[in-house]
Structure 1
């Protein structure tokens, strides 16, 4: 079926829900680590406390993607039920997070919050590929970059404004933390409900419905499949890892094992969506493997920045640390929110410009240049002593952040089959979170042993990694089919 073009307003309405999801991620980037600091976390404990985000992304997004690929409800659609469930849980967690009275409580709630965010976000990537024709992919994915910038901007600006104008402490945390998280509670569910109400999904054809029916034959309810998939994920990946050795001599052994499990009724139910995920991994296009190398450096670097930005600014501008002067450190945290808010303003201002540039010059060149700008910006960042000059390197970082959230998908979307949009978008997220997991497990040691637990040096380290990531982009051969061309007119709601 030839998908008709959507109008600009329809693309905006479809992606409004991304705004609320990204507000929550913005709070995680700028508020959660300072909250850990306020609750007494040591610097080398911060990476492991951030394990929730990458682990939930690794476990949940591919499963949700595979489940949504196999789902169709005439009333609720394919992707929208997952938006709603994720956003509802996210709002509940955001409401309760400021009441954390201890480090373990804050870390535990972060696990649930990240699981909810990943449940809501993963189908959004697949929705672009489901609903938009090829020539509108760049506009669709970069619209998500726009709302990423807008959502994270509001999160960071709210931290700055509330910290300035809402003094006092309630429980273990300042009152301004409560205000920011309560605003996120409203944004998360409200924006997703707007998109759900404004965006129809195309029903599958009779042939596609027959395939879905056959795929789901003998399978339990999707909720049961989800929990079974979670329980068996690590074992399934362990089996895959073990089979990789004999696969060097017999390339078909993994496929035969998957086929055997799919034809065993009990194993098919127990492993649920993990069989689909592993099969998709074994058939992954080569461009995705090359993108994985880029992501290794890119996302390791970003996690280093987010964990150390507030402490680096406190050190270079205020000449303090969380333990030396809590009052000055709170001021540094507020300014970090403003700096991060600025780069996200740049993100949503530059998103549609990048869509045009990707169409004109290709996503490969655009992403290469953007990573260079971000890397140079982070090399400069820790040496700036004037708080107002921090906005200069963050301008380039903001343009790069817009690219990171949209352009790489243009490199792969035309290389994957449409019946696997969900699972492959989940696998792309695995490429994001695996570097984050490596960072949380390794960077505490690196920081303590080689960087002297110095936040400024950690930011410099992140800048160098981004420059290496830019070089890795040059290995990718892009699919040219992303041009905008006039076709069928927009459909109405």
Structure 2
């Protein structure tokens, strides 16, 4: 548990600086989420193969995040601190990958660069979650994660709109020539890589980290933890030592992330089919649909940015798990409703509900979890928690393609319906989570 009195209360701008890197991280993720299916389809991927090709992203997260969390817990440098070396290295690698991915000439190269990009993003992203637990007293955890969510939303809005801005206002071509990826996508990724690096560097060079309370003891423990097999045993043994709250949240996360994976993979072909009446990835209509999906994702990013600061207020009035339940149910119903929509403008409405859910997904589980974790293993457990983000995506990646192909005749919108039902289920399960903040509040009232 965290001892609040040992950490000073941070100002708004200190919270801003320590979270600003997430603006760039989400800039990269939104470009990836909104355009990867479009890139794969343009390079010749079949509908039934999309979810499998996307497996690069969750597999990378599963392998990278616990390791980076463990390494960052056992890192301390007088200048770089604990988490910031990983912010820095991941940002450089991610920017490189974002310049390379949209220049892929064949499908397998694009998949390889997606692996590289997602690995790099995970190296930067994972320590950001632990950064909040490191620097903030427990009563500021929700505010800290809300600030991250706000900046994530802002990054998502701009990145989602970028291909359309390039097409409509700057005259960049949105047409795939000779099967190549359109210029709009390529230029958007170039801008995204630059923004990613600059944003993360802002956090790296404007923030300081709190050194271990007993530096000599930390050095001795770090020396004792060195060695590949010792580290591997320590990483794997954590599953048996997970706090009860983490186990309960894991089930909520499972169904939540099936839903988001389905949305990211299948929104582009669904919108192309329902609104633009095409399944041909080489057609202008499909590429226009790809741009419109960017706008849709910008809407849910913008809504999440606005909702981020409302969630802590609602949580104080009720509870974090009740707020999370309500947000997930709204998001799930919104995803299911896309099945009924054929109007371009009306497709924006479900994204409002998805944005409300997204704000809560990025805030509430981590705020609840941070209060239940030991401070000296914050990075490791936050990385381990990511297993319950990526495992459902891996399962969804393996299952959704065959299900859509064999049961729904390649009508990808049914994947969105399945995702919506899963999100509603996740919301109901969140009511079963034990939140230490609720226990403390009850004790005070009594």
2:274 is the alignment partner of 1:316: yes
**Counterpart of 2:69?**
65
The 5 A counterparts of 1:268-307 are 269-307=227-265
Write the deviation string for residues 268-325 of structure 1: whole angstroms up to 9, x where unpaired.
x2325322222222110111111111111110111111111111111221222135x6
CA-based RMSD: 1.7
**Counterpart of 1:12?**
16
2:418 is the alignment partner of 1:461: yes
Task: Tell me by how many angstroms 1:218 deviates.
Answer: 7.7
**Counterpart of 1:129?**
133
Query: Contact (CA 8 Å) 2:42, 2:176: kept in 1 or not?
Result: no
2:302 is the alignment partner of 1:345: yes
Write the deviation string for residues 165-221 of structure 1: whole angstroms up to 9, x where unpaired.
311557711111111001111111100111111111011122x541342332483xx
Q: Which moved more, 1:131-140 or 1:453-462?
A: 453-462
Task: Tell me by how many angstroms 1:396 deviates.
Answer: 1.2
**Counterpart of 1:196?**
204
**Counterpart of 1:214?**
221
How many residue pairs get aligned? The number is: 433
Unaligned runs of 5+ in 1: 220-268, 485-493
SS in 1 for 2:6: coil
Write the deviation string for residues 233-258 of structure 1: whole angstroms up to 9, x where unpaired.
xxxxxxxxxxxxxxxxxxxxxxxxxx
Q: How many Å separate the matches in 2 of 1:205 and 1:417?
A: 14
Return the index of the structure with the highest Cα Rg.
1
Question: Would the alpha carbon gap of residues 170 and 185 (structure 1) be closer, same or farther in structure 2, given more than 3 Å must change?
Answer: farther
SS in 1 for 2:311: helix
Q: How many Å separate the matches in 2 of 1:331 and 1:21?
A: 25
Q: How many Å separate the matches in 1 of 2:418 and 2:254?
A: 14
**Counterpart of 1:368?**
325
**Counterpart of 1:166?**
172
Q: How many Å separate the matches in 2 of 1:85 and 1:273?
A: 21
Q: How many Å separate the matches in 2 of 1:445 and 1:163?
A: 35
The 5 A counterparts of 1:87-486 are 87-164=91-168, 165-167=171-173, 172-206=180-214, 208-217=215-224, 219=226, 269-323=227-281, 326-480=283-437
Task: Tell me by how many angstroms 1:112 deviates.
Answer: 0.7
SS in 2 for 1:5: coil
List structure 1 segments (4+ residues) > 3 angstroms apart after TM superposition.
168-171, 481-484
Q: How many Å separate the matches in 2 of 1:466 and 1:218?
A: 39
Write the deviation string for residues 18-60 of structure 1: whole angstroms up to 9, x where unpaired.
1111111101110111000100000111111111111111010
Write the deviation string for residues 309-343 of structure 1: whole angstroms up to 9, x where unpaired.
111111221222135x6111111111111111111
Q: Which moved more, 1:375-384 or 1:61-70?
A: 375-384
**Counterpart of 2:444?**
none
Task: Tell me by how many angstroms 1:359 deviates.
Answer: 2.8
Query: Contact (CA 8 Å) 2:329, 2:427: kept in 1 or not?
Result: yes
